Amino acid sequence: MFTGLLMAVTDITGKHKRLEERLQRKQKREEELLIEQDKISENVQQIMKFVSTLESMVIDCNDNKIVYDVDNGECYGEGIVNEDEFAIQRNFMSENSKFRTHSHEENEILIIISGQLTAYFNNGYKTLLPGDVVYFSPNQEHSVIANKDTWIFGITIPSSKGYPDA
């Protein structure tokens, strides 16, 4: 009988130890997630600072104006930077204008400055508001629709042929 009791206590002690280890792992993961969340917040703040810096730099880029063929409405871009490594363009999309679904070999990042877009990618839709950033990987099919008149910074990495000077 004493042996059975000792085995039961040993079993309970082992389970308790395993539960404590799981709890410690969970607490460590929660701490890691908080650190990641802080890093993401810092990155968003840096992006917004970058956006406001870019916006203040771009006053008039009519020499680099590009008009895009979109459904419903108008869209044009103004080239800001066009290096081999990357290109940056400031774009305007009028309300209800739509870039048709397409893909390309470059990474593309869109930063919403004002207005509102709906982006289609990964078989779903996402509404984007000022300050939001969306990333399209190479060869990923995507499209965007302007729900309101919208200003965007578009970045391609590496620079697309002709972007932003197409």
Task: Tell me the HSE value of 93 on the side-chain side, using a 13 A CA sphere.
Answer: 30
Q: So where are the chain's domains?
A: 1-57, 63-157
**pLDDT tens, residue by residue, 138-154:** 999 999 999 999 999 99
Q: Cis peptide before 130, with omega less than 30 degrees from 0?
A: no
Q: Whole-prediction pTM value? A: 0.62
Which architecture, in CATH terms, is 63-157? Sandwich (2.60)
Distance CA 24, CA 69 (A): 56
**pLDDT tens, residue by residue, 6-62:** 677 677 777 878 888 998 999 998 888 888 887 777 767 666 665 555 554 444 445
Percent above pLDDT 90 for the chain: 32
